[in-house]
Amino acid sequence: MNVRKSGILAIAVIGIALFFWLDLGRFLTLDALKANRQSLLEYKADHMLIMVSGFMAVYIIQTALSLPGAAIMSLAAGAIFGPLLGTLYAVCAASIGATLAFLVTRYLLRDMVLARFGGRLEAMNRELEQRGFNYLLFLRLVPVFPFFLINLAAWLTRLPLRVFVTGTLIGIIPGGFVYVNAGASLATITSLGGIATPRVLGSFALLGLFALLPVLYAKFTSRTRPDP
């Protein structure tokens, strides 16, 4: 690993270590958000641009470093900015952070992994080059798959950057809106588990299935098509 890659890796490790050493996670809890909401609203009223920039910067860093707290950040977006602007800011920040995680991890480790496992990944890469958007959209829409793991795993493939960005941006809008909209009614929330109800999760799963329909149709027709 060259000096530049070592430097980037060191910055990421230091950032993650500082987060846990300083116990910054205590600010990313439901109780902390409820306790500080009024102060945040008052600050936003006087410093809107700073509040938007600061919120997005924190969300981008949290996502890029795969730190805990994404759900609270989305709730905070709704509590501070309302459901529409909150969704806009949260989705944009999460997409930027995910893209940074994807690019940095690919830059640091992809060559090493492909040199060792490239042959085993070839079939998957060919499939992703053809239908990568549908697969990524499915993974983003179905909340069973952790957001940060998708960011980190995508670098193993030849998934184009434009496909990753587009699939992420579109795929996280439904889930993002659910949490941001819940944050707009923060006083009624007693736990994070009460937001993603089985009905909501089922709706996301159905959306994910629709995203996979073109893939399933192509595979079905290729198997049923008679050989020439």
Q: Which residues contact 193 (CB under 8 A, 6 or more apart)?
A: none
pLDDT tens digits along 139-172: 888 867 778 888 877 777 778 889 999 999 998 9
Whether the predicted pLDDT of 28 surpasses 60: yes
pLDDT by residue (tens digit) across 108-118? 877 666 666 55
Query: pTM to 2 decimals?
Result: 0.86
CA 175-74-79 angle, to 5 degrees, is 120
Per-residue pLDDT at 125 exceeds 70:
no
Highest mean pLDDT among 5-9, 31-35, 123-127, 193-197: 31-35
CA distance 198 to 191: 15
